Amino acid sequence: MDSTIIEKIIKEIEQHAPAHEGQHVGRVVAVGDGVVAIDGLTKCVMSEVIIFEEGKGKKLSENMETQGALFGLILNLEEDGVRATILGDSARVSEGMTVKSTGTVLSVPSGEELLGRVVSALGEPIDGKGPFKNTTMMPVERQAAGVIDRKSVTVPLQTGIKAIDAMIPIGRGQRELIIGDRGTGKTTVAIDAIINQKYEPEATRPICIYVAIGQKESKTARISQQLREQGAMDYTIIVNASAAAPAALQYLAPFAGVAIGEYFMDQGKDVLIIYDDLSKQAVAYRQLSLLLRRPPGREAYPGDVFYLHSRLLERACRLSDEKGGGSITALPIIETQEGDISGYIPTNVISITDGQMFLITDLFNKGIRPAIDVGISVSRVGSAAQTKAMKGVAGGIKLELAQFRDLEAFMQFASDLDKATADRIETGRRMVEVLKQKNGSPIPLDKQVAVLYAASHAFFLQAPVAKVTEVEQLYVDFLDSNYSSVLADIQKTAQLSEETKKSLNQSMEEFKLAHGELFTENK
């Protein structure tokens, strides 16, 4: 553990020591798989930090004194003792070792210093850039804000992904689940949302926290590098509990992430936090619970696995003005097996969150990215979390796409289609192309609105389906060069005035005249 964090914990221990004198010493009676049974510690509380006094027990190596203090976390209170998990190298713990409770619950450091850094589930810096000097300790477990201390979600959180901002809008303070099979682009959606925040004014830009739970170190390093290259790491914190980390740290990582976020929320700032992914946290918690001898329930998960995720996700909210008006927006990720969203963990998390984005393998394999199934995806905050400009252009897109998906299935068996159905299919095909987006290329609000306005006014209908993406890119470049003031007005006012609509209509006509070779009359 980092020396500065140890010093802070030791200081807290010294403050609490008098109240616990003669009551807070125990002895390890059994140890295995990162879990210890302890005799004594009759006055300790749940989630209390304990210290293993290695000098009192069996010495496991000659250089033991040079290693940092070894901590544990109380997770079971039993009649004849307690059970705890070891927050570190379990090989350093042996039977007979003396244990002291600290009188303090587990806390992690937070503050401006963490921005741009990679930390462990205990808040220790693990990016080789040195220790933190001035941080505030935040409790890992904290009660969520009550109903009176919250206010409605009305401020949009732009993800930069057209399909999401138009059809499944996310507001600041919302919890929107990203769900799908392995390899369908769930993490990509979340990382694009972080990158897109660079287009926000600095004063209102959310602090972003990416929590990697049970992921490969190489994946987390790649994400860190991508964010750094895109200039997004300046306002981002990565909390990493890799696949090699003990189950205890994988279980704690999301709570550490939200505790770090609460420091900024308490200051009236907005926070965006990604949990990637909670399926792996549930598996780590199941492993931990079975080792702690808690009774297994459905699929061997403990009975309180719902409470595990609900008390985590309830901490995401938008605070009232009296409380500073800060917010935490949570994007938890859940991995499904063969698209089964009726599984135990997916069902639990769907019922806790305010909507879900369902990514499906079939669309992903067809090259439709992001592979969002608009039929089953929903945002329960809805258009309350959209700007007036986006509302004005996005109204019928979801219905149009859902109808197109039905007609697309139907037309495989129909040889002769009436004109209205054929037109709807052609429009739907082009809308699918418009909503496609490359990885790591979020689009700012003004350009999204301009493109979707053009799509809703049949601008792409005369372009061949294969050329829609090319036409869209050229049109955006054309607007950048010739109508930058119009884009700036949309960005500034977040509205579509009549004057702006006239300018966009004019830009479409000019573009068609300049690039006539890209448009062929749709037969």
Q: Which residues are catalytic?
A: 380
Residue 240 vs residues 138, 274, 330: alpha-carbon distances, Å: 17, 12, 17
Q: How far apart are the first and last CA of the chain?
A: 69
Q: DSSP secondary-structure letter at 381?
A: S
How far is the C-alpha of 514 from the C-alpha of 478, rounded, in Å?
10
How far is the C-alpha of 465 from the C-alpha of 435, rounded, in Å?
13
> What does the DSSP assignment read for 207-231?
EEEEEEES--HHHHHHHHHHHHHTT
Residue 39's closest CA among 98, 118, 117? 98
Which residues lie below 8 Å from residue 9, measured CB to CB, with a gap of 6+? Answer: 49, 71, 102, 104, 107
How far is the C-alpha of 154 from the C-alpha of 171, rounded, in Å?
6
How far is the C-alpha of 215 from the C-alpha of 133, rounded, in Å?
29
Burial class of residue 257 (count of CB atoms within 10 Å of its CB; 0-12, 13-18, 19+): buried
Q: Hey, what are 282's tokens? A: 């549930």
Query: 88 near 70, Cβ under 8 Å?
Result: yes
Residue 300 vs residues 283, 336, 345: alpha-carbon distances, Å: 10, 17, 12
Q: DSSP secondary-structure letter at 518?
A: G
